[in-house]
């Protein structure tokens, strides 16, 4: 059982820290430190001076803010301390109506959140070095693609006037050169990602298993490995489908009001969009999936519903091949 609950509000440069002891829930103590290793050491020293509660009874809690929360999570875990990093939306919905918002108040609310939901707390599990590198490379690739798309659109708009204006021609030519440079850079990042995958036997094995499924190629396989912690952070395909906003949920009230099950808008939209592309690819290239699509279409089902069902099929197949450590084989469709 934990007796000291420490809320951490992350920002790029600083962390706001508030703690509260069990049984003294209105007595908060607050301080602010740099969001770096020196700041983390100062925070631990300060906490030790403020309380007599032993470290094994401390619980840190913060929102998952990507790179801003990563350094402290890794630091505390390396010290054998318990830190719970939860979804920002989950924390926000649990707080009720908040009339005041600043970093100090947010850190206090996080300390209370840790106390109230102590039974649901999950200790942060550090990513492997390969998984962390893969995540950073994937994020870098995404930024490069956005820049390439923006410049490509600008070049397309400029093309209509280059014959009449030498300045426009110059801008067009320079833009095209930059687009080509970015394309080569993206290709190099993707090669680096593949190298990173091959350096970790566990990730490499799961990558090969995932790409044995028609519809799941390089990008989708990488994204699933990154966001599932190489299939260690979700216990079932249903959980992952909920996380990505693909699992339908029904609503009812009494005996008269029953709504058609629908997917939630609370989702990781990035993975959802990528798996939509994977589902459409599977419909084109997988005989069994194509027959399923055509059959449901003939029954009058809407396209979005059928595509969502296909996305769920791909998720279930992904978890199945990883669990069984066997590549997907179309001749034994009933197994998946």
Total tally of structural domains belonging to the chain: 3
Nearest-angstrom CA–CA distance, 335 and 322: 14
Confirm whether 302 is domain-assigned: yes
Give Cβ neighbours of residue 279 (< 8 Å, ≥ 6 apart): 215, 307, 308, 310, 311, 314
Confirm whether 209 is domain-assigned: no
pLDDT single digits (tens) 239-269: 888 888 876 655 555 555 555 656 556 667 8
Residues 48 and 140 in one domain: no
Residues 297 and 225 in one domain: yes
**Helix (H) and strand (E) counts for the chain?**
12, 7
Residues 182 and 225 in one domain: no
Residues 16 and 94 in one domain: yes
Residue 309 host element (H or E): helix 303-324
Residues 260 and 324 in one domain: yes
The answer to whether residue 335 scores a pLDDT higher than 50 is: no
Length of the chain: 336
Of 102, 120, 138, which closes a domain?
A: 120
Contact 25, 109 (CB under 8 A): no
Residues 194 and 99 in one domain: no
Nearest-angstrom CA–CA distance, 9 and 15: 6
pLDDT single digits (tens) 69-97: 889 999 999 999 999 998 887 788 777 76
Q: Which domain holds residue 151?
A: 129-199
Of 164, 199, 234, which closes a domain?
A: 199
Contact 218, 211 (CB under 8 A): yes
Tell me the sheet residues that pair with 20.
5
pLDDT single digits (tens) 272-286: 899 999 999 999 988
pLDDT single digits (tens) 140-181: 999 999 999 999 988 887 777 776 678 888 888 899 999 999
- The CATH number given to whatever domain includes residue 15 is 3.30.420.10
Q: Which of 50, 43, 47, 57 is nearest to 15 (CA)?
A: 43
Provide the pLDDT for residue 336.
42
Residue whose entry in the numeric block shows the structure tokens 């607050």: 30
Nearest-angstrom CA–CA distance, 174 and 221: 35
Nearest-angstrom CA–CA distance, 204 and 130: 10
Residues 159 and 225 in one domain: no
Residues 108 and 135 in one domain: no
């Amino acid at each position: 059982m934990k007796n000291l609950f420490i809320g951490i509000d992350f920002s790029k440069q600083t962390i706001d820290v508030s703690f509260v002891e069990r049984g003294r829930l209105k007595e908060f103590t607050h301080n602010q430190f740099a969001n770096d290793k020196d700041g983390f050491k100062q925070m631990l020293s300060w906490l030790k001076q403020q309380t007599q509660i032993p470290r094994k009874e401390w619980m840190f809690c913060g929102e998952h803010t990507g790179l801003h929360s990563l350094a402290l999570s890794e630091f505390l875990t390396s010290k054998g301390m318990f830190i719970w990093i939860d979804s920002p939306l989950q924390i926000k919905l649990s707080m009720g109506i908040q009339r005041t918002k600043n970093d100090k108040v947010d850190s206090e609310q996080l300390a209370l959140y840790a106390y109230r939901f102590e039974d649901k707390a999950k200790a942060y599990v550090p990513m492997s070095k390969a998984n962390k590198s893969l995540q950073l490379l994937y994020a870098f690739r995404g930024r490069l693609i956005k820049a390439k798309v923006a410049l490509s659109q600008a070049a397309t708009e400029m093309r209509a006037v280059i014959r009449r204006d030498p300045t426009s021609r110059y801008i067009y030519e320079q833009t095209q050169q930059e687009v080509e440079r970015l394309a080569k850079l993206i290709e190099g990042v993707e090669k680096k990602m593949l190298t990173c995958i091959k350096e970790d036997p566990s990730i490499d094995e799961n990558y090969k298993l995932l790409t044995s499924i028609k519809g799941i190629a390089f990008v989708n396989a990488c994204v699933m490995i990154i966001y599932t912690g190489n299939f260690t952070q979700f216990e079932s395909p249903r959980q992952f489908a909920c996380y990505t906003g693909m699992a339908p949920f029904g609503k009812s009230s009494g005996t008269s009001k029953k709504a058609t099950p629908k997917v939630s808008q609370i989702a990781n939209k990035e993975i959802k969009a990528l798996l939509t592309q994977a589902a459409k690819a599977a419909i084109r290239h997988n005989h069994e999936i194509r027959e399923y699509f055509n059959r449901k279409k003939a029954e009058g089902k809407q396209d979005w519903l059928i595509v969502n069902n296909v996305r769920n099929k791909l998720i279930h197949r992904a978890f199945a091949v990883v669990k069984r450590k066997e590549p997907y084989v179309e001749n034994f469709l009933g197994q998946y």
